[in-house]
């Protein structure tokens, strides 16, 4: 039995009843309408893969009118027409109007079933094609939206990078970057670690709860980029991600999540964020180096 019913349209009640009983007994699902208006009312409530309709329905819209209306309402629906006219021109005209096929009276039930089977197979292919096209359109739309969001992210991060050039220390430079990351990922803990004297790290938590000491032993190089638990400080499991420029280690980022967050350091939006932060930290370091060099030259050029 087919999943969706065939819609049978004929103004002759006896013929409608006979065809429905005969087709139903052979495994088809059949719903009926006495005229074009009734058929269109039913089609407004559900999809019918095939409409089997008489062409000659006096006193209202004809089968030709119904074919045109069906194609406008649901192009996936195929119309099979029953014509009682002897002229082949009528059947050809119905095909030109958009009918899939036709059966001439007097007909045998096997003839109708053969035509219906072809129409149902064709309708199945059309449905698969429609589903494929819809899926493709949805994928394209999702891709366009993704690109638009990424473009907006690029602009926002560029603004952060430009603003960072006005800063002269790490804490105010890092604060907007970490706030941006918190808004996007909502981590349970978000910390920046900067190399300090010896094997220590300076831990900066702008805007967060400062429950971790101002310095902490440096994690081993093997820990950078790997999941870990913050050493005895009660923090959530997370990621310790290096911030580098070439071979220069500028610092590290600790991101902790609760409940199996799907964060991946390779996510392109996060990679963009990390690169912009690395560029900002490198710019600050170079500025300090230039200022230090200028002061050193000024000191050497002063009076002995």
Q: What is the C-alpha to C-alpha distance for residues 198 and 109, in angstroms, rounded to an integer?
A: 93
In a shared domain, residues 120 and 53 = yes
In a shared domain, residues 182 and 224 = yes
* DSSP type of residue 1: -
* Helices and strands: H and E segment counts in the chain: 7, 11
Q: What is the C-alpha to C-alpha distance for residues 227 and 237, in angstroms, rounded to an integer?
A: 7
Residue 149 lies in a domain: no
More confident residue, 222 or 61: 61
Model confidence pLDDT, tens digit, residues 109-145: 898 999 999 999 998 888 888 888 889 999 999 999 9
Residue pair 61/37 in contact (Cβ under 8 Å)? The answer is yes
In a shared domain, residues 174 and 226 = yes
Residue 173's domain comprises: 165-301
Model confidence pLDDT, tens digit, residues 143-174: 999 889 889 989 999 999 999 988 888 888 99
**pLDDT in the model for residue 190:** 85
Coil/strand/helix, residue 209: coil
Three-state SS letters, 99-146: CCEEEECCCCHHHHHHHHHHHHHHHHHHHHHHHHHHHHHHHHHHHHHH
pLDDT above 70 for 101: yes
Supply the CATH number for residue 204's domain: 3.30.450.40
Model confidence pLDDT, tens digit, residues 175-193: 999 999 999 888 888 888 8
End position of a domain, from candidates 108, 131, 154? 131
pLDDT above 80 for 276: yes
Q: What's the mean per-residue pLDDT of the chain?
A: 82
Name the helix (H) or strand (E) containing 39.
helix 36-43
Residue 140 lies in a domain: no
In a shared domain, residues 174 and 49 = no
Residue pair 88/57 in contact (Cβ under 8 Å)? The answer is no
Q: Is the pTM value of this prediction over 0.75?
A: no
End position of a domain, from candidates 113, 131, 149? 131
Q: What is the C-alpha to C-alpha distance for residues 68 and 8, in angstroms, rounded to an integer?
A: 16
Q: What is the C-alpha to C-alpha distance for residues 15 and 37, in angstroms, rounded to an integer?
A: 18
Whole-number percent of the chain with pLDDT over 90: 29
pLDDT above 90 for 254: no
- pLDDT tier at 299 (50, 70, 90 boundaries)? confident
Residues in contact with 254: Cβ distance below 8 Å, sequence separation at least 6, in sequence order: 189, 190, 191, 192, 193, 230, 235, 238, 239, 240, 241
Indicate the number of domains in the chain: 2
In a shared domain, residues 125 and 170 = no
| Neighbouring C-alpha atoms within 13 Å toward the C-beta of 66 | 36
């Amino acid at each position: 039995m087919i999943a969706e019913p065939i819609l049978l349209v004929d103004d002759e009640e006896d013929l409608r009843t006979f065809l429905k009983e005969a087709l139903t007994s052979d495994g088809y699902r059949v719903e009926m309408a006495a005229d074009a208006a009734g058929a269109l009312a039913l089609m407004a409530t559900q999809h019918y893969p095939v409409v089997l309709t008489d062409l000659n329905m006096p006193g209202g819209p004809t089968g030709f009118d119904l074919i045109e209306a069906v194609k406008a309402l649901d192009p996936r629906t195929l119309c099979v027409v029953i014509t009682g006219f002897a002229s082949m021109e009528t059947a050809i005209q119905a095909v030109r109007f958009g009918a899939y096929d036709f059966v001439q009276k007097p007909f045998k039930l096997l003839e109708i079933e053969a035509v219906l089977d072809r129409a149902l197979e064709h309708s199945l292919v059309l449905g698969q094609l429609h589903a494929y096209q819809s899926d493709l359109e949805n994928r394209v739309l999702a891709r366009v939206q993704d690109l638009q969001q990424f473009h907006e992210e690029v602009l926002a991060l560029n603004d952060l990078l430009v603003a960072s050039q006005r800063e002269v220390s790490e804490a105010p430079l890092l604060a907007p970057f970490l706030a941006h990351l918190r808004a996007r990922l909502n981590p349970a803990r978000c910390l920046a670690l900067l190399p300090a004297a010896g094997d220590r790290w300076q831990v900066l938590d702008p805007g967060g709860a400062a429950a971790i000491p101002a310095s902490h032993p440096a994690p081993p190089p093997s820990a950078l980029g790997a999941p870990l638990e913050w050493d005895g400080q009660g923090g959530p499991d997370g990621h310790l991600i290096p911030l580098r420029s070439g071979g220069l280690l500028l610092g590290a980022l600790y991101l902790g999540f609760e409940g199996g967050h799907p964060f991946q350091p390779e996510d392109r939006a996060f990679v963009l964020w990390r690169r912009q932060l690395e560029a900002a930290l490198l710019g600050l370091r170079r500025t300090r180096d230039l200022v230090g060099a200028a002061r050193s030259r000024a000191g050497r050029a002063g009076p002995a």
